[in-house]
Amino acid sequence: MHQEIKIRRATPDDASAIEALYRELVKNPAIRVSPQRLEQVARGEHTFLLVAVCDGAVAGTALLSLCLDVMFGNQTFGVIENVVVSGDARSAGIGAMLMLEIERIATTNQCSKLMLLSTASRTDAHRFFARHGFQDSSKRGFVKYRRDFNLAT
């Protein structure tokens, strides 16, 4: 059975489907995707929230943020977040199509590199990213969450 897969920018109507995908990614009751936020993201020129639509239903998503760099003229660099393909749609090429579209957008925007973080225990995701040319040996990632910020109150 051949499935038609289309990659496009998310719209506010995609909020519930994207929220469901995020709930597959992490078990956090605070997840909330609002149509208003999706509208704001869609209007931005440096943030691309993509969805993969498979036979009419959202089956995957990825977020690309282009950061304006000053080191190399007008180049940007990209940060990829929240790459998710629905569990029942994996191994159908959806993730690969999302990554190809990210690379197309990055190339169009003079992007010097793409970066992403992946939870240390997600070894299947690590293999996927490695298959798509991401290296885990050239740099080391660090994260500091808001709850750990050292702000004086």
Q: For residues 62 and 94, is the Cβ–Cβ distance under 8 A?
A: no
- Summarize pLDDT for 128-145 with one digit per residue, the tens: 788 888 888 878 888 888
Helix (H, G, I), strand (E, B) or coil at 6: strand
Whole-structure pTM value: 0.88
- Summarize pLDDT for 25-37 with one digit per residue, the tens: 999 999 999 999 9
- Summarize pLDDT for 5-55 with one digit per residue, the tens: 999 999 999 999 999 999 999 999 999 999 999 999 999 999 999 999 998
Ranges of each domain in the chain:
5-148
Report the CATH superfamily, name and number, of domain 5-148.
Answer: Gcn5-related N-acetyltransferase (GNAT) (3.40.630.30)
The dihedrals phi and psi of 92, each to the nearest 5 degrees, come to -110, 5
Q: Could you write out the DSSP letters of every residue in 52-118? A: EEETTEEEEEEEEEEEEPSTTTT-EEEEEEEEEE-GGGTTSSHHHHHHHHHHHHHHHTTEEEEEE--
**Which tokens is 95 given?**
């993730």
